[in-house]
Amino acid sequence: MIEWAIIGGGIHGCTAATFLIKSGKTSIDRLRIIDLYDKPMARWRRNTKRIGMEYLRSPVVHHIDVHPLSLQKYSDSAKSRDLYGYYKRPQLDFFNDHSENVLYEINIQKAWKQGKVVSVKRNERWVLTLESGEQIMAENIIVAISVNEQPMIPEWAHKRAFHIFDEQIPDFKKLKPPVVIVGGGITAAHTAVAVSQLFPGKTTLLKRHPFRVHFFDSDPGWLGPKNQTGFRKIEDYQQRREVIKAARHKGSITQELFYKLARFQKRNELQIISGEPIKMNETTITMKDHSNIQAKTVILATGFKSSLPSQPWLQKLILNENLQCAHCGYPIVNESLEWCPHLFVMGPLAELEIGPIARNISGARQAAERIVANL
Ligand X SMILES: Cc1cc2nc3c(=O)[nH]c(=O)nc-3n(C[C@H](O)[C@H](O)[C@H](O)COP(=O)(O)OP(=O)(O)OC[C@H]3O[C@@H](n4cnc5c(N)ncnc54)[C@H](O)[C@@H]3O)c2cc1C
Q: Which residues bind ligand X (CB under 6 A)?
A: 7-13, 34-37, 42-44, 47-48, 51, 53, 56-58, 62, 116-117, 144-146, 148, 187, 311, 347, 359-362
Task: For the beta carbon of residue 13, count every other beta carbon within 10 angstroms.
Answer: 27
Other residues' Cβ atoms within 10 Å of the Cβ of residue 273? 14
Minimal distance, residue 260 CB to ligand X, in Å: 16
| Closest to 336 measured CA to CA, from 145, 65, 140 | 140
CB-CB contact of 165 with 31 (8 Å) = no
For the CB of residue 278, give the shortest distance to ligand X in the complex, in Å.
27
Of 51 and 308, nearer to ligand X (C-beta) is 51
Judged by CB, which is closer to ligand X: 15, or 203? 15
* Helices of type H across the chain: 11-22, 42-50, 70-78, 92-105, 186-198, 225-233, 237-247, 255-266, 312-321, 351-354, 361-373
Whichever of 280 and 372 has its CB closer to ligand X, that residue is 372
- CB distance 99 to 17 below 8 Å: no
Minimum CB distance to ligand X, residue 66 (Å): 17
- Decide whether 53 or 206 has the Cβ nearer to ligand X: 53
Residue closest to ligand X, measured at CB? 10
Q: In the complex, what is the shortest distance from the CB of residue 36 to ligand X, in angstroms, rounded to a whole number?
A: 3
DSSP states along 103-119 = HHHTTGGGTEEE--EEE
Looking at beta carbons only, is 286 or 313 nearer to ligand X? Answer: 313
Shortest gap between Cβ of 59 and ligand X (angstroms)? 9
Beta strands 338-340 and 203-207 are unpaired
Given the complex with ligand X, which of 48 and 306 has the nearer CB atom? Answer: 48
Name which of 272, 228, 268, 269 is nearest 253 in CA terms.
272
Burial class (CB in 10 A: 0-12, 13-18, 19+), 210: exposed
Quote the least distance from Cβ 354 to ligand X, whole Å: 12
Nearer to ligand X, 9 or 356 (CB): 9
For residues 29 and 110, give the distance between their C-alpha atoms in angstroms, rounded to a whole number.
7
Q: How far is the CB of 288 from ligand X (least distance, A)?
A: 28
Cβ proximity to ligand X: between 62 and 202 the closer is: 62
Taking the chain, what is the end-to-end CA distance rounded to the nearest angstrom?
19
Beta strand 112-114 pairing with 31-35: parallel
Q: CA dist 120 to 131, 138, 343, Å?
A: 12, 10, 11
Nearer CB in complex with ligand X: 12/240: 12
